[in-house]
Chain A
Amino acid sequence: MRTRRRSDDDFRREIDAHIDLETDRLIADGLDPADARAAAKRKFGNVAQAHEIFYESRRIIWLDDLRRDSRYAFKAFTRTPGFMIVAILTLALAIGLNTAIFSIVDGVLLRRLPVPDADRLVRLFETNAEAGRPRAGGSPANFIDWRRTASTIDALTAIGDTSLTMTGVAEPEVIIGMIVSREFFSLAGATPVLGRTFAAADFELVANAALGPIAIREAATGDATVIISDWLWRRQFGSDPRIVGRQILLNGRRAAIIGVMHRDFLLDETRTGKADCWLPLVESRMATYRRFRQFTILGRLTAGTDVSRAQAEMSVIAASLAREHPRDNEGWGVHVTPLHESVVGGARGVLLILLGCVGCVLLIACGNVASLLLMRAEGRAREVAVRMALGAGRSRLVRQWLTESVLLSLLGGTAGLAVAFWAVPAIVASAPPNLPRVDEIAVDARIFAFTLSVSMLTGMLCGLAPAFAARTSTGRVVQALRSTGVAALGPGGRWLRQSLVVAHVGLAIVLLVAAGLMVRTLIAVHALDLGFEPRNVLTFGVDLRDEKYRGLANIRTFSRELIARLEALPGVEAAGVGSVPLLGGISNDFGVEHREEPVHSRMDVPSPGYFLGLGIRLRHGRFFVDADDQSNELVAIVNRAFARTAWGSDEVVGRRLRASQSADRWMTVVGVVDDLRMSDLESEAPAVVYIPHLQSGIATFNNYVVRTTGDPQDVIPLVRDAVRGLDAAVAVTRIATMEERVQRAVAPRAFNLLLIGLFAMVALVLAIVGLYGLISEAVASRTSEIGVRMALGARRGEVIRLVLGRSLVITAAGVLLGLGAAAAATRYLEGMLFGPTPLDPMTFAGVPLLFGIVAALAAVMPARRATHVDPVVALRCE
């Protein structure tokens, strides 16, 4: 049973009362008042001790001590604000950066996907290694069979995508549609914020099938049903609350909006971008398509199974399907993988490396603060001695120091949160487009908890340094009390500081090497010859889905007229139609004279202005002209890669080739152009055959390329007008300047460099600061020694050598250590490099050189101070 807490005052009154009573008694016994009181007090015994016992009996001692230590620490800090500011800033920077990177790692890698039962969700791929398609989508027919036979996976869902031209609204545009099967909304656990999800009947509507990726011939009656995204609802319909039931035109067909999806619905990523609307998958119209492998298939593991069991079952099912449908499915297997893995797997490597790098920065910061604390401890030798003389145990002192450093770190951590709040959006904004789950990155309670724990750990780590190095033996204490010149830290402290600096330098070198490799990678990427001139080039596309553009002839007419209009615009130098570089293209087989096998190569169908528009370089022969049309000889242009593959040389003007499917249409080569990078920046430029767009019987493109004299952005409104002038119902889409596209392609590399470079710079600064501190301290503590030597005739060079000698050894040790660690560690960077190898000699030689120069600069000031010591002054103060 607990009695009510008594206050100290209450107890004091009780003791006073006791003594009074005893005094009265003794007076009654015959003593005089003064003697009586003295005797009473004597009889009581040690009042102070009684107080102490009472006091201690009702308190939690360590909490009390903590409070007292904290208050003491605060006062100590405010007395030396310089130290406090430097330490807190250092910690804020390091902890802040760590928090920022951890937020990203948490949001992308660690958090569960925002759907119910996220850890049981899997994704199924069709695979056919021989055909070079290890991860293909699923086909509708296969999907239906899987769903029917699989027992380890339920809620199988197929997701496809398509692009739709939306008209009947203020601004026609091309939007991205997500086609989903029945189970999608329950799998995703989402309900619309307005309206409803799809009913069973919607999955049978012909109108819906007509909007899908597979063309159907039936006439559609009634409206298609579509759910739109929150963003589309805002930007096209002004968040109209009466949107449900509204009719729009998609690809020229009537569609009714039956619902609006929630704004936080995150399962909206398609292969081409975020979905603007959802459509039902009409399986009945696709059930026979077994080779159209364009659907993303998701499922949920049934209770009690795991991925390997599901994989085993699906492999069996795939094998039996291959037997039943040999023409379509032979050689095709199924791969089951957890959804989480397929979403984030690609980013994991890079993110973990970034986390490692920023962790190094934190270690260096810890070391710096530990050094500062060590220095401070030296200055408090007297205080330590006095406290020990008064009876403080060593553990008590250690507790005090730990409290100080943890307090410091918590303050630093709080400031670091502010840094993180600023840094996370900045990093996310510059993140490359291939970083998954960017929307889920946030600084929230989990991140706070992380920051808190990191701060406390940091504090304890830093605080251990002075605790470890302090000398608390009685002899030293006495000495400290007697004189003022003895350091509280013995050789232990000095050694600790020096090894800290070695570690700093080593870590900084590792980060600098990593950054150096990133720099070289970026330079290598930028130095790639694109094969065309990206500056001042605008690209865009049109969507010609309307009936009147059926057939190549109609499209060609449209193109020709549009190009004429574009070239007539002011500020336009050249315009043409053709595929956009860096985005990929189509390929075909081409037969070549005197060669058995056809050459498999890319194909493009440009107009004459295309080559000028992109600035493609001509090697031999000529570009296309308007006369290269149906009425004249069939011609083609090839690039050097094709020429060399097919004929072994560049000079191939006049040779003939044909597309394999057009057996008798031989084309004569009239020009050879330089290679350009068709699909992505870093792969080898492929072989390409160019066929004039007026002569092509195979395909045509709806991409346009415009070279401008000035800023391409200025031309955009003129382009829109030109298109609208031809046909108001045609939407202009995929507008971007070529430079933007190149930037986007380089973005991932640039992002890596940005972050690692930042960390390396911070590490460098911290390491140099630590080095500078060490050298300064060496000079300061040996001032008298230097004075003596100079008085005895030592020259400046000798003094400098004396002072810097040790620091040189330390720096060199650190650099060597760092290079060794870097050599071991850079192999993990392999995936991030393009150009240099992980053990790139230039980087490994250049970084120590750079560091040496910076370190030398840092050493200049203390060295000068050393040589300017006045021997007389130095000798006097002893």
Chain B
Amino acid sequence: MSTRKEAREPIALLQGTLDLLILRTLVFGSQHGQGIARAIELQSADTLLVDHGSLYPALQRLEARGWISAEWGVSDNNRKARFYTLTGIGRRQLVTETRQWRRLAAAIGGILGPEEA
């Protein structure tokens, strides 16, 4: 993720983060790949620009682990698309990961100190 200028390395670091974001997006209901990408861009106020293609390895991973399930369906504008849904396990996983992420963010914030004016 991040702007296209970055090398592959940071993406690897943030792989777990991408999974988390996908799971979070799917809380609000099933969505297809393009929709998930859009949602992330929207909700992060365009700070995070996703290479749409790099979403798919994450989706495959999540699907293989059984945290999401997938099915072909029809989108709003009558296009065929593959829709992903959060599974029970995925939902529980989301809770765990979110908690961990918030703790991590708080810890880092504590070290970095308050934002300088």
Contacts and interface: CB of A to CB of B under 8 A. Distances in A.
B53 A49 contact: yes
Contacts of B81: 14, 17-18, 21
Contacts of B60: 53-54, 57
B34 interface: yes
A204 interface: no
B76 to A, nearest CB: 9
B5 interface: no
Given A21-B81, A22-B34, A24-B77, A57 B57 contact: yes
A54 B61 CA distance: 10
A43 interface: yes
A41 to B, nearest CB: 10
A21 B64 contact: no
A297 B96 CA distance: 79
Contacts of A2: 64
A15 B81 CA distance: 9
Interface string A349-382: 0000000000000000000000000000000000
A21 B79 contact: yes
Contacts, number: 71
Interface in A1-35: 1-3, 11, 13-15, 17-18, 20-22, 24-25
B64 A45 contact: no
Contacts of A24: 77, 79
Contacts of A11: 56
A631 interface: no
A44 interface: yes
Interface in B9-53: 32-35, 37-38, 51-53
B52 A3 contact: no
Nearest to B75: A21
B53 A50 contact: yes
A53 B60 CA distance: 10
A46 interface: yes
A47 interface: yes
Contacts of A43: 37, 51-52
A21 B32 contact: yes
Contacts of A14: 33, 56, 81-82
Given A24-B77, A25-B34, A53-B57, A18 B65 contact: no
Contacts of B52: 18, 22, 43-45
Contact of B53 (A3, A13, A21, A47): A47
A2 to B, nearest CB: 7
Interface string A44-62: 1111011001100100000
Interface string B75-110: 101011110000000000000000000000000000
Contacts of B64: 2-3, 57
A510 to B, nearest CB: 60
Contacts of A50: 53-54, 56-57
A14 B79 CA distance: 11
Interface residues of A, number: 24
B63 A17 contact: no
Given A2-B64, A24-B77, A54 B56 contact: yes
A25 B81 CA distance: 14
Contacts of A46: 51, 53
Contact of B34 (A21, A49, A53): A21
A660 to B, nearest CB: 99
A44 B49 CA distance: 11
A18 B77 contact: no
Majority SS at the chain A contact face: helix
A1 B66 contact: yes
B59 to A, nearest CB: 9
B83 to A, nearest CB: 10
Contacts of A53: 56-57, 60
Contacts of B80: 13, 17
A18 B34 contact: yes
Contacts of B66: 1, 3
A17 B75 CA distance: 10
Given A1-B65, A3-B63, A45 B33 contact: no
**Which one of B51, B52, B63 has the highest number of Cβ atoms from chain A below 10 Å of its Cβ?**
B52
A724 B3 CA distance: 113
Contacts of A45: 4, 51-54
A497 to B, nearest CB: 45
Nearest to B67: A1
A13 B64 CA distance: 19
Contacts of A57: 57, 60, 64
A679 to B, nearest CB: 82
A20 B34 CA distance: 9
Given A1-B65, A3-B66, A17 B56 contact: no
Interface string A330-343: 00000000000000
A54 B38 CA distance: 22
A736 to B, nearest CB: 79
A46 B56 CA distance: 11
**Which one of A11, A15, A17, A24 has the highest number of Cβ atoms from chain B below 10 Å of its Cβ?**
A17
Nearest to B34: A21
A583 B66 CA distance: 85
A44 B34 CA distance: 9
A181 B76 CA distance: 95
A2 B61 CA distance: 11
B79 A17 contact: yes
Contacts of B69: 3
A763 B32 CA distance: 70
A100 to B, nearest CB: 52
B8 to A, nearest CB: 10
A44 B51 contact: yes
Interface string A652-684: 000000000000000000000000000000000
Contacts of B4: 45
B102 to A, nearest CB: 28
A13 B79 CA distance: 12
Contact of A18 (B32, B51, B54, B63): B32
A41 B54 CA distance: 13
Contact of A44 (B53, B57, B65, B82): B53
Nearest to A2: B64
B52 to A, nearest CB: 4
Contacts of B65: 1
Given A2-B64, A3-B63, A24-B77, A18 B33 contact: yes
Contacts of B33: 14, 17-18
Interface string A66-84: 0000000000000000000
A3 B35 CA distance: 22
Contacts of A13: 80
A224 B80 CA distance: 94
A1 B68 CA distance: 11
B38 to A, nearest CB: 7
A827 B57 CA distance: 69
B73 to A, nearest CB: 10
A18 B82 CA distance: 9
A14 B72 CA distance: 9
A245 to B, nearest CB: 75
B53 to A, nearest CB: 4
A21 B83 CA distance: 13
B71 to A, nearest CB: 11
8 contacts: A1-B65, A17-B32, A17-B80, A22-B37, A44-B51, A45-B53, A46-B51, A50-B53
Given A3-B66, A15-B53, 17 more contacts: A13-B80, A17-B81, A18-B81, A21-B79, A25-B34, A43-B51, A43-B52, A44-B51, A44-B53, A45-B51, A45-B52, A46-B51, A50-B53, A50-B56, A50-B57, A53-B57, A54-B60
Interface of B: 4, 32-35, 37-38, 51-54, 56-57, 60, 63-66, 69-70, 75, 77, 79-82
Shortest Cβ-Cβ A-B pairs, 3 listed: A45-B53, A1-B66, A45-B51
